[in-house]
Amino acid sequence: MNLLPELEKLLGAAQVLTGEAAAPFLVDWRGRYKGQALAVVRPGSTEEVAAVVRLCAKHQVPIVPSGGNTSMCGGATPDETGRALVLSLARLNRVRSVDTDNDTMTVEAGCILQAVQTAAREAGRLFPLSLAAEGSCTIGGNLSTNAGGTQVLRYGNTRELALGLEVVTAEGEIWHGLRGLRKDNTGYDLRDLFIGSEGTLGIITAATLKLYPLPVAQCTAMLALNSLEDATAVLSRARAGFGASLTGFEVMMGTVLEAVVKLFPQQRLPFEGASAKSPWYALLELSDSESAEHAQGRFEAVLGAAIEDGLVTDAAIAESIAQSRAMWHLRESIPLAEAGLGKSVKHDVSIPISLISTFVKTTNAALQVKFPGIQHIVFGHLGDGNLHYNVARALDQTEEQLLAQQYDVYQLVHDSVHAHGGSISAEHGVGQLKRDELTRYKSALELTLMKQIKQALDPQGIMNPGKVLQA
Ligand code: FAD
Ligand code: MLT
Ligand code: ZN
């Protein structure tokens, strides 16, 4: 018996997609990769996921787990051979339980991030993971990529928000690790091994997540700044002044926000005149557990001093929730605006915060020498030292010409990241995009240990082959 009829018998024919129905799963969000697959299957329970994996293990068919398909590095896109099965977690979308005494919730992997946030809020709690793809990415994808986003400086990335996991292994067994414990030192940390493994070690089917109190008041401001150095100085003061209440600190080049308002004319910068043409902007958020007055007092003290000392050239403080949302909307529209400008070479790097402005200056200069006229698209999560240091084509270049230079651009930028003590993937993961780059910066020992772990957990090499490591 071959695999497809067995899958149809197991799941029902309606949950085994081929042809047009499978097409959206075969191309990544950025349109950089197009693959083929035997079929896309949509199991409806952990037991069904396990049964599908057992069938694939029996037939030695590779499996590509798929969540919301918003990966920035082709992680959920199968290769072109058509041998793999795409396994969508979309139907595992139940909130299994919320425990407000333990401040935890247990959700299935296919839950959309926004639905997880909403369920937490309905229980009077905060689930703080937040990113612009939250309306379509899934918690399983977030865990598998150890996603970051805009609140990491206060709450950590997805790894720090997960207490327990349920995982289907590469042999189709179910590991019941849904523990809601903040302390558990019982040997190797399997949970942290699966988190961030991008579907190469097993399939996450559910997770127990940490919840936090909802803030009583929030203050948001957009700041106009002359330089990234000034942004770093303001971040330092905000950290000292707000402590754990500092929940967001994003930076954006002025030209990047210009591109946003050009593409989305209904959006506007909260500035007029010269401040609307600032070289840099920062978006700052404070979350307070006391009161609006307390929040405002702290906010104005730190911002006032930064303006007086010339670090901030102008500040727009949101006076309503609508104004705060509009500021965040500007920031969150950047990936779409960037995609609207055409294909760019994207880098998702982290650098010690103290070296970020030096990194940008020296790398910009080196790029201009080697690729004259290339345009810089720099924005990101300065609060966690994570920049999206992207490069768009020079005005006299075609998109294809830029993409033909992609690996040379990577090499220059990633060498600079490495020289500044940074990482070539801060939050997006490796997928297929950075797989070969990884081998240039990880030590031989690290790569060997990673391969040994892969071999131990996935001896047949059927879990998302060709992602993170060579197949
Ligand atoms: P997918 O894209 O479907 O999959 C991602 C990887 O995880 C693949 O390797 C896949 O095989 C694997 N996978 C998916 N589900 C499972 C599972 N249940 N078990 C095992 N493996 C699985 N990322 C950030 O970190 N920070 C940001 O601020 C951010 N902003 C973004 C903004 C936009 C507009 C977009 C399009 C993307 C953004 N991303 C960001 C990238 C992306 O949203 C995240 O990586 C997200 O975590 C992926 O979730 P997903 O459900 O879409 O996963
Ligand atoms: C972001 O911070 O907006 C995301 O990581 C997406 C991107 O880099 O385009
Ligand atoms: Zn980001």
pLDDT tens across 258-304, in order? 999 999 999 999 999 999 999 999 999 999 999 999 999 999 999 99
Residue 453 CA to residue 169 CA, distance in Å, equals 13
217-335 shares the fold of 95-213: no
Pocket mutation for ligand 2, best pick of 28, 345, 347, 348 (most atoms within 8 Å of C-beta): 348
Q: How far is the CA of 280 from the centre of ligand 2 (A)?
A: 17
Predicted local confidence at residue 341, as pLDDT: 87
The residue whose CB lies within 8 Å of the most ligand 2 atoms, and thus the one to mutate among 29, 130, 131, is: 131
Mean pLDDT of the chain: 97
One-letter amino acid at 217 equals A
Atom of ligand 1 nearest to the CA of 194: 20
CA 336 to ligand 1: nearest atom: 34
Residue type, 186: T
- Given a cut of 60, whether residue 311 has pLDDT beyond it is yes
How far is 83 from 471, CA to CA, in rounded Å?
A: 13
Report residue 191 as tokens: 């949970």
Beta bridge partners of 41: 16, 87
Beta strands in 351-395 (DSSP E): 375-381, 386-392
Taking the centre of ligand 1 as the mean of its atom positions, its distance from the CA of residue 336, in whole angstroms, is 16
> CB under 8 Å, gap of 24 or more: what pairs does 172-179 form?
172/50, 172/51, 172/52, 172/53, 172/54, 172/55, 172/57, 173/50, 174/46, 174/47, 174/50, 174/205, 175/202, 178/106, 178/206, 178/207, 178/208, 179/208
Topology of 95-213 in CATH?
3.30.465
DSSP letter at 16 equals E
The ligand 2 atom nearest the CA atom of 331: 3
Residue type for position 93 = N
Atom of ligand 1 nearest to the CA of 467: 9
What is the 388 CA–ligand 2 centroid distance (Å)?
Answer: 7
Terminal-to-terminal C-alpha distance of the chain: 27
What is the fold of 217-335?
Alpha-Beta Plaits (3.30.70)
Residue 330 has what pLDDT? 98
* 237 CA to centre of ligand 3 in angstroms: 23
Q: Residue ranges per domain, the chain?
A: 95-213, 217-335, 342-433
According to DSSP, the residues that pair with 174 across neighbouring strands are 168
Nearest protein CA to atom 34 of ligand 1, as residue: 133
- Please tell me the predicted confidence (pLDDT) of residue 439: 96
Q: Is the pLDDT reported for residue 1 higher than 80?
A: no
What whole-number distance in Å separates Cα of residue 296 and Cα of residue 50?
52
- Whose tokens are 């929040």? That residue is 295
Task: Give 211-254 pLDDT, tens digit per residue.
Answer: 999 999 999 999 999 999 999 999 999 999 999 999 999 999 99
Index of the ligand 2 atom closest to the CA of residue 148: 5
Measured from the Cβ of residue 420, the count of other Cβ atoms closer than 10 Å reads: 17
Inter-CA distances, 414 with 260, 377, 448, Å: 27, 16, 21
Q: How far is CA 104 from CA 119, 120, 122, 163, 261, in A?
A: 11, 9, 13, 8, 39
Q: Are 91 and 112 in contact (CB under 8 A)?
A: no
Q: Which residues line ligand 1 (CB under 6 A)?
A: 29, 64-72, 75-76, 89, 109, 131-133, 137-138, 140-142, 144-145, 147-149, 198-199, 203-204, 335, 427-428, 431, 464, 467
Contacts of 203 (CB under 8 A, 6+ apart): 49, 53, 63, 65, 87, 89, 109, 140, 167, 168, 463
The token pair at 322 is: 């609508």
Instruction: Decide yes or no: CATH 3.40.50.450 for domain 342-433.
Output: no
Residue 89 CA, closest ligand 1 atom number: 18
**89-117 confidence digits (pLDDT tens):** 999 999 999 999 999 999 999 999 999 99
User: pLDDT band at 383, cuts 50/70/90?
Assistant: very high
> Which ligand lies nearest to the CA atom of residue 332 in the structure?
2
Closest C-alpha to ligand 2, atom 7: 335
Ligand 2 interacting residues, C-beta cut-off 6 A: 132, 334-335, 380, 388
Q: How far is residue 113's CA from residue 272's CA, in Å, rounded to a whole number?
A: 35
Backbone dihedral angles phi then psi of residue 200, each to the nearest 5 degrees: -90, -10
pLDDT at res. 23: 98
Q: Could you give the dihedral angle defined by the CA atoms of residues 205, 169, 146 and 462, in that order, rounded to the nearest 10 degrees? A: -120
**Ligand 3 centroid to residue 171 C-alpha, Å:** 34
Q: Beta strands of 291-427 (E only): which ranges?
A: 314-317, 348-350, 375-381, 386-392
Which pLDDT band, with edges at 50, 70 and 90, does 182 fall under? Answer: very high
Q: Whose CA is nearest to atom 26 of ligand 1?
A: 149
Cα–Cα dist 59/38, whole Å? 12
Q: Which atom of ligand 2 is found nearest the CA of 381?
A: 2
Strand partners, 317: 221
CA–centroid distance, residue 301 to ligand 1 (Å): 38
Q: With contact defined as beta carbons under 8 Å apart, do 118 and 98 qualify? A: no
The mean pLDDT of 63-82, rounded to a whole number, is 98
Between the CA of residue 279 and those of 9, 276, 324, 378, 458, what are the distances in Å? 60, 9, 21, 11, 49
Residue 13 has pLDDT above 70, yes or no: yes
